[in-house]
Structure 1
């Protein structure tokens, strides 16, 4: 098939035509299957549906080189399953699957899929193609060596960097062809099994160490007017633009025609918007080519910017919070933009990526051994309707899963109840709000759910101890009936009051700890009263013990 043949674009071919050409080929080349993973709305939430049922991605991401070796991975699969993961995020590098142009070697990918199936795990594949952490180090040797055919991005002084230029049409064609071939192969071997449920397009795209590419082709593109597709999006979404983009555009008159600097300012401001637009168009071309072969959900992840840093000091032009609108305009085929979060202000960051047009997925959330990771997972699923959550380098901790394994065990038990409640006002997640500088806001958090108001404190009310460990306290509350709730987590104390009409006081009719069996049955443990509930005053989930309590409340005067 022409999919596997080396092909050079005609002069003047742009990103859209490259994707369309590949799409036409792949529509003929691959068979169709009735079911595939998809994103579907439930109330105010979007959920991932696999095999006809919604699922949460209770996940972990492998370290970058782990998946390149079946021997290395062999002892890890069962350990990851034992840690209560249901999904593993694993890289697939271009250089491994296409070591010789036009000849594809699927052995590493096929081995990974076999092992995941054997351990009842799903996979999210991370395509390490043209870009991985900004750089182009995972491309095949035949791409690296042919710099005339695959030009590099340039610095203002004319020096090139080890980043492929998005203005290299041959690069776009070659990367999209390889990516689409992988999706076609997945459909052929996994279209009826759904082992692979989602794919990441590239990894942490962004320009370094300056705000934009200064190669001759890039300079020529920067001299052109801002594309109408971008300005039309800004006009149509004027009231909903992120604050930074809205201010940047409105302060310059909300122009719909003109140069990048006329619309977005001098220096790095316009340069970064320009970079974001062209990275988004590149990612969209790959997504369209891939979806023509096998329309799995696809996302782009982002390396976040530190406060006070200039574009290029961080990866410029990725789908950063202030550039979400540019990416939404430029990459409509991408299903969601996903933050990789290594900063302390987790709640602030996920709040920006949880949008009606962007279901929340957190593919990297600190390293797996960070003590705040479990509480972050509870917040993401319970408070922001996340479809998935995964810390990085999960294989480095699978011998000692500790708190993460225990917390994931609770999330797996709660999964049906979380999925049923997402998109409604019957679920809430809690954790202390931590700032970028690591300082904590210990204030109790209040939510109304049904006929009750819940106040969640992150310490023992009777013996408060505000320590750095408090950052890892957290949990969630799920309403399962008129007066019935599941309260899960660790290090939290929950008090109640009546809400709305009726008596203002609320008490605990019954509280019991327990677990959910694999068939969904509640298996009761201790009936909690007296000291465990402070004589009916509160529900407490002790620090260091991730658990679930089933609670029935009542109201009185």
Structure 2
């Protein structure tokens, strides 16, 4: 009887601890990691097209596709209009179906709350909200034209979203509080004002003429030395005042309109996020539509969680854990560099699903310690087993324990190469690795083409002279950081990790390494190679 009681106590304790260990974020060195079931988790993700998750039957043939591409995480919308079709009456059958199917396919979920705003617009607000313009007022353009955008300057709009999001998070805790299928939540989607830089409804205009809120001024003064340069310059250009109206403090400009709008969007989002976390405190983030080059606020979705507004959003949304970029334009490195300032971790929740993603995934994980990578409309492929991204994900799946152990240290880095960026150097473990695009050798037929495919990979140190090199389209040579020693290749083995254990395949010390001159992973190949270096004179 005593042993039965002890076993029962142990079982209850284990269940309780499991329920308490919900997914959370944790720092490791300079990196931020997502912890799931007590272990770091690297998201090999894909975001569903907007409408796919609105039908469980439509989703049935999609799950095998995702498995074939080696995904472990699916980003799926939750639609306000479908979970609350009548005010106060909630239907979570779609959410429950996603949970069930994700578990059946051994995948995690990141839920995207399509609440007040989706790509700026309020297209997923329930019909009972859309029809009642008096109770749920709209944003207005500079010309006074009502937009398909609920204004953030009315508490009734905010409170309706808060109640719905609270119910969603409460339901998730009840249905998933022990299984932890959902690992993160995105609050709203690509917030931003169009076609003007700010809302011009009566309430917005009144707020614009009032003093800059004390909370924002306090944040700016307390963080004055470490503010994002764009905001610092904007503020100081008008004298660095610490009180006054928006125009008195920041001057009259579209940039001031955008800053004003960002603060009020942020305060609205903070109310929604804080209410949701009070029910079930999963990690929560915001995503942003990146502006096209040369466009002004209002020509792009103004005031979203963009990198030049990072401090405004941080001040206004303390319950949000980080901000993320959505990629539908070039300059991948440029925007990632901006988003990873001031300790903001990188997560790429949405990027155009196209050739080149397979290289960018390696680079994001290796160079930026990314939490994860997730192309949009991931189900759109007809040949999932042949997708290059799936081959990268296979490699990242094998290497995940090694990568996660090295994140936040100087023993992990990544590269991204094309015809305009032919080589990159990485310094690691006393060695300089010169990584070039495979086509620079001139041996491959594709090297004569005008356009070269993106190449990408990562290098990871496992010992004083031992390294893992993984990726696609790379040629790597070696030199010492100091001294006149020559660096030789002691051994190169290709192989794979099976159940976490390295299983070597071919030894590549001959022709494949050009008799010890370099390490090579050709364009079109996706591989892992273990490398041992040595010094000689």
Output the CA distance in 2 between the equivalents of 1:127 and 1:505: 56
Output the CA distance in 1 between the equivalents of 2:383 and 2:343: 38
Output the CA distance in 2 between the equivalents of 1:462 and 1:211: 49
Tell me how far 1:78 sits from its aligned partner.
Answer: 2.0
Q: Is the 8 A contact 1:339 1:362 kept in 2?
A: yes
Q: Is 1:408 matched with 2:361?
A: no
Name which of 405, 408, 431 aligns with 1:423: 408
Q: Is the 8 A contact 1:498 1:504 kept in 2?
A: yes
Q: Is the 8 A contact 1:375 1:431 kept in 2?
A: yes
Question: Normalising by the residue count of structure 1, what TM-score does the alignment of the two structures yield?
Answer: 0.91
SS in 2 for 1:431: strand
Output the CA distance in 1 between the equivalents of 2:106 and 2:322: 26
Give the match for residue 391 of structure 1.
375
Give the match for residue 533 of structure 1.
513
Count of residues paired in the alignment: 517
Q: Is 1:341 matched with 2:322?
A: no
Tell me how far 1:470 sits from its aligned partner.
Answer: 3.3
Output the CA distance in 2 between the equivalents of 1:39 and 1:345: 28
Q: Is the 8 A contact 1:459 1:470 kept in 2?
A: no
Name which of 435, 442, 446 aligns with 2:421: 442
Q: Is the 8 A contact 1:431 1:471 kept in 2?
A: no
SS in 1 for 2:441: coil
299-308 or 32-41, which deviates more: 32-41
Q: Is the 8 A contact 1:56 1:419 kept in 2?
A: yes
Tell me how far 1:468 sits from its aligned partner.
Answer: 6.1
Give the match for residue 511 of structure 1.
492
Output the CA distance in 1 between the equivalents of 2:382 and 2:466: 36
Tell me how far 1:64 sits from its aligned partner.
Answer: 0.4
Give the match for residue 76 of structure 1.
62
Tell me how far 1:503 sits from its aligned partner.
Answer: 5.3
SS in 1 for 2:116: coil
Tell me how far 1:523 sits from its aligned partner.
Answer: 1.3
Tell me the alpha carbon deviations over residues 238-278 of structure 1, each in whole angstroms, 9 at most, x when there is no partner: 22222211111111111110111122221312111011001
Tell me how far 1:145 sits from its aligned partner.
Answer: 0.6
Q: Is the 8 A contact 1:301 1:338 kept in 2?
A: yes
Structure 2, gaps ≥5 residues long: 1-16
Give the match for residue 225 of structure 1.
211
Output the CA distance in 1 between the equivalents of 2:245 and 2:439: 58
**1:305–1:87 distance in 2 versus 1, CA, 3 Å:** same
Q: Is the 8 A contact 2:102 2:108 kept in 1?
A: yes
Output the CA distance in 1 between the equivalents of 2:205 and 2:256: 13
SS in 1 for 2:401: helix
SS in 2 for 1:202: strand
329-338 or 469-478, which deviates more: 469-478
Output the CA distance in 2 between the equivalents of 1:93 and 1:86: 23
Consecutive aligned runs of 4 or more in structure 1 exceeding 3 Å deviation: 398-401, 466-471
SS in 2 for 1:306: coil
Structure 1, gaps ≥5 residues long: 1-30, 434-439
Q: Is 1:38 matched with 2:38?
A: no
Output the CA distance in 2 between the equivalents of 1:529 and 1:349: 39
Name which of 146, 157, 163 aligns with 2:143: 157
Tell me the alpha carbon deviations over residues 421-453 of structure 1, each in whole angstroms, 9 at most, x when there is no partner: 1000000100027xxxxxx53241111111211
Q: Is 1:454 matched with 2:433?
A: yes
Tell me the alpha carbon deviations over residues 108-139 of structure 1, each in whole angstroms, 9 at most, x when there is no partner: 00001100000000000000000000000101
Give the match for residue 249 of structure 1.
235
Output the CA distance in 2 between the equivalents of 1:86 and 1:333: 26
SS in 2 for 1:441: coil
Q: Is the 8 A contact 1:470 1:491 kept in 2?
A: no
Q: Is 1:203 matched with 2:184?
A: no
Tell me how far 1:337 sits from its aligned partner.
Answer: 0.2
Q: Is the 8 A contact 2:47 2:76 kept in 1?
A: yes
Tell me how far 1:158 sits from its aligned partner.
Answer: 2.3
Q: Is the 8 A contact 1:153 1:163 kept in 2?
A: yes
470-479 or 104-113, which deviates more: 470-479
**1:179–1:467 distance in 2 versus 1, CA, 3 Å:** farther
Give the match for residue 266 of structure 2.
280
Q: Is the 8 A contact 1:459 1:466 kept in 2?
A: no
Output the CA distance in 1 between the equivalents of 2:362 and 2:105: 24
Tell me how far 1:399 sits from its aligned partner.
Answer: 3.2
Name which of 196, 200, 208 aligns with 1:214: 200
Give the match for residue 486 of structure 1.
468
**1:356–1:467 distance in 2 versus 1, CA, 3 Å:** farther
Q: Give the aligned CA root-mean-square deviation in angstroms.
A: 1.5
